[in-house]
Amino acid sequence: MENKRRRVELIVEFLQTASLLYNRNYSKEELRKLAQVYYNALSPLDDESLEKALQEAFRRCQFFPTPADILALAGRRGAEALLDVYKAIDKGGPYSSVVFEDKKIMCVIEALGGWVEVCNMPTGVLQKKFIELYETFTNTIHAPTHLPGLVELDGWDDDRKKIPLLVVGSQIKEAFLPPARLQPFVQALARGEKFEDLLALPGGCEG
């Protein structure tokens, strides 16, 4: 909570100062909404990177700095890539197999132990490790074709074309629908039922 409060204070102070420097007359309500937008957009940055980027913005930006400007100033292209990872985690979690259009993301996730491992990482640990690794990858020739999720790893279906696959780039879409016999599991998972409890469902993966 203390960390979140400090980040909010940094962003609010930044926006107030920027409003004066760039001659923007925001009301308190507009400033509050703007702060929320900046807070969410800049969440991939760790505290130190955020503070440095906000300071750098005053030195380099000719116009009112946008969240994209600040991310760029932080030297964190990996932060933007991490947003795609978060979207995929929210959309399919560790169960779906995933393909990212950005091959560097594929390489980083594989280096971190795979898709399931990344989905289970604490947010702070994932942010730090992902962004640091993303900046080091220059060769993506050996990027994996896809990142397997729990459904595939548990061997429910050997035909990869039938595996629920998320393709992540400008937007997330399901490239393949799961076969009919997987539908009960997918629907149950969507309702929030525990993965291990689904093994006892009729037509489950046993046998």
Between 5-9, 66-70, 154-158, 177-181, the lowest mean confidence (pLDDT) is in 177-181
Mean pLDDT computed over 61-77: 85
Helices of type H across the chain? 2-21, 28-41, 47-60, 67-73, 77-92, 103-111, 115-119, 123-134, 150-153, 183-190
Q: Which of 42, 168, 152 shows the shortest CA–CA distance to 105? A: 168
Which pLDDT band, with edges at 50, 70 and 90, does 26 fall under?
very high
Task: Give the model's pLDDT for residue 159.
Answer: 55
Domain ranges in the chain are 2-75, 78-200
Between these two residues, 57 and 162, which has the higher pLDDT value? 57
Is the pLDDT score of 38 beyond 90? yes
Q: How confident is the prediction for the chain on average, in pLDDT?
A: 79
Which of the given ranges, 2-6, 42-46, 144-148, has the highest pLDDT on average?
Answer: 144-148
Asked if 185 contacts 198 with a C-beta cutoff of 8 angstroms, the reply is yes
Residue-level pLDDT at 80: 79
Comparing C-alpha atoms, which of 100, 93, 95, 84 is closest to residue 119?
93
pLDDT at 180: 45
Is residue 20 scored above 50 in pLDDT? yes
> 178 pLDDT exceeds 50?
no
- Residue 197 banded pLDDT, cuts 50, 70, 90: low
